[in-house]
Each structure stands twice: as C-alpha cells, then as structure tokens.
Structure 1
Amino acid sequence: MTYYWFAQSVGVLAFMVGITMFFNRSDRRFKQQLSAYSAIIGVHFLMMGAAPAGMSALLNSLRTLISLRTRNHWIMVIFIVLTLVLGLSRAHHWVELLPVGATVVSTWALFRTSGLTTRCIMWCSTCCWVFHNIWLGSIGGSLIEGSFLIMNGFNIIRFRRLQLRGIDPFEVEKKIVKKMEENQAAE
C-alpha cells in the first residue's frame, strides 16, 4: 500500500469514528466523540500535506476535551490564538484558511454556547471543512464532513421540532453546564 492510500485509509477511519457523533443529545458524549474524530482526521490531514488543516484538527481535539472541564474565557482565547498563529503561518492557498476560520468559530461555540446553538454554529463550520476537504482530495475527510453536514442538519431540525413541542432535548446538559459554571465562579 502506498503512503497516499495509507493516508486516505486514516481518513476513512476518521469517517467511521465520527459518523454517529451528531446523534448524541448529550453535549458531553458529543464532545468526547468529536475529540477522538478530530485527532484522527488531524493525523490524516498532516499525512496528506495539509498542515493548516492538520494543526487545526489536532487543536480541535485538545480544545474539545478541555471544553468538557472548563468554559474559561482565557482558555478559549489561548486556543483561538494558537489556531490563528499555527494555521495562518503554514497556509499557502486561500482555501487553507477555511479550516482555520472554522476552528476559530467552533472554538468560540464550544466555550460559549450549548445545545442547538452549538450545533448550528458547528454546521456552518462544517461547510468550510467540506469545501476544504473536496479541494484537498481527502476521501475520508470529504465523506465525513459531508455526512456531518447532512446528519447535523437533520438533527438540528429534529431538536428544533422537539423544542417547538415543548420538549427540551438539552435539559440535562443545561443543568450540567450551570453546575460547571457555578463551580468555576466559586474557585
């Protein structure tokens, strides 16, 4: 197997890990699975020679895990600055700016939003990744981000319909976030 096809197989592995992520109502499980997917796809992008996307995805993985523990404003700012510095310094084509911008926006969303708002922002971020992955020729990356776009879109509609019927699909997570914020305020 050539290096190129090995790199593509890592992308397909990422596809398999990430395919069910958006079905989670639990923000915690959603973020854990997003972190695992981001780490694998980051390795794939680095293997494909897409350093800005690879670094953005690896930072996504770490950032997502940390966002499970804290919603601290300064931690968010650190990740945004790291993403901009590492991503912009290695970009050679304007399309390589898309994953960097997507990572900045999704970082803000993971630290400052929850529930349906997070998923809507992640959907917009995914649009940037889809375009980048098609441009790069990443088979697994294009498949997974395209799937994310469709699945998250359907789940946004499904969750919104539940909300319109008076059912909050994110009720449990709101309590967890509130408790987390109270604990941080006490520190």
Structure 2
Amino acid sequence: MTTYWLAQGVGVIAFLIGITTFINRDERRFKKQLSVYSAIIGVHFFLMGAFPAGSSAMLNAIRTLITLRTRSVWVMALFIVLTGGLGLAKFHHPMELLPVAGTIVSTWALFRFKGLPMRCVIWCSTGCWVIHNIWLGSIGGSLIEGSFLVMNGLNIIRFWRMQKRGIDPFKVETAQQEKPAAR
C-alpha cells in the first residue's frame, strides 16, 4: 500500500468519526469529538505531505480540549501565534494558508463564543478547509469538511429557529431523572 492510499484511508476514518460532530448540542461532547476528529485528520494531512494543514489540525485537537478548561485570552493568543508560526514555517503555496487562517478563526470562536455564534464563526472557518482540501486532493478531508459545511449550516438554521421560538438549544439536559416517590 502506498503512503498516498494510507493517507486517504486515514482521511476516510476521520470522515467517519467527524460526520456526527455538529449534531451534538452538548458543548463538552461536541468539543471532545471535534478534538478526536482533528487529531486523526492531522495524521491524514501529514501523510499527504501537507505540513501547514497537519500542524493546524493537531493544534486544533489540543486547543479544542483546552477550551473545555479555560477561555483565557492569553491561551487563545498562544494558540493563534503557534498556528500562524507553524503554518507559515513550511508553506509552499498560498492555498496552504487557508487551513492556517481557518484554524486561527476557529480558535478565536472557541475561546470567545459559545452556542450559535461559535458555530457560525466555525462555519466560516470550514469554508477555508473545504477549499484547501479540494485543492490538495484529500478525499476524506473534502468529504468531511463539505459535510461539516452542510451539516453545521443546517444545524445553525435549526438552532436559530429554536431560539426564535424561545427554546435554548444549548441548554444542557440532565441525564438523571427524578426518582419516583415511594409508595
């Protein structure tokens, strides 16, 4: 098996893991699943020889987990500098700057926003990744980011409609049911 097909296989695995990410309304589960997807797609990009995209995806994975613990502006700035520095260090074509820009935008969104605004900014970031992945010839990457664009777009509309009806789509529902009264 060539490295190319191994890379494409890893990309398809990432696609299968990432396909349901944006359905999650619980932000913790959303971020954990997004982190797993990002790590796997990062491996895919490194195997494809796309260092800026691979480093951006790996930073996405770490950054997304860290946003579960802190929303510090300093931590956000550190990830933005790391993403820009690593992305610019080995880029060879202007198209390779798209995932770097997308990662910087999504970093800002994950640290500064919640709920619908966060998903709207991430939707814009996804557009950068879609264009890059098609240019790179990444089958799994193009499928997943294209799916993210559609699924997140549809969920943004659905959540926005819920909010218009006075329903908070991001309210965490408790899994614990009240115990029935003793007889």
Q: Do they superpose with TM above 0.5?
A: yes
**Worse overlay, 134-143 or 1-10:** 1-10
What's 1:178 paired with?
A: none
Give the share of equivalent positions with the same residue, in percent. 72
Q: TM-score, normalised by structure 1?
A: 0.91
What's 1:156 paired with?
A: 156
TM-superposed deviation, 1:172: 3.1
1:172 is paired with a residue whose SS is: coil
Deviations 1:3-24 (A, max 9, x none): 1101100000000010000001
What's 2:176 paired with?
A: none
What's 2:137 paired with?
A: 137
What's 1:41 paired with?
A: 41
Output the amino acid matched with 2:17: V
What's 2:71 paired with?
A: 71
TM-superposed deviation, 1:2: 1.6
Output the amino acid matched with 1:141: G
Counterparts of 1:171 and 1:48 in 2: how far apart (Å)?
40
What are structure 2's unaligned runs of at least 5 residues? 174-183
What's 1:92 paired with?
A: 92
Higher helix share: 1
Q: Point out the structure with max Rg over C-alpha.
A: 2
TM-superposed deviation, 1:170: 1.5
Counterparts of 2:28 and 2:91 in 1: how far apart (Å)?
32
What's 1:21 paired with?
A: 21
1:102-181 mapped onto 2 (5 Å cutoff): 102-172=102-172
What are structure 1's unaligned runs of at least 5 residues? 174-187
Which runs of at least 4 in structure 1 moved beyond 2 Å after TM superposition?
Answer: none
Deviations 1:52-87 (A, max 9, x none): 000000000000000001101111110000000000
**Aligned positions, number:** 173
Output the amino acid matched with 1:167: I
What's 1:182 paired with?
A: none
What's 1:185 paired with?
A: none
Q: TM-score, normalised by structure 2?
A: 0.93
2:172 is paired with a residue whose SS is: helix
Output the amino acid matched with 1:73: V
What's 1:4 paired with?
A: 4
What's 2:180 paired with?
A: none
1:53 is paired with a residue whose SS is: helix
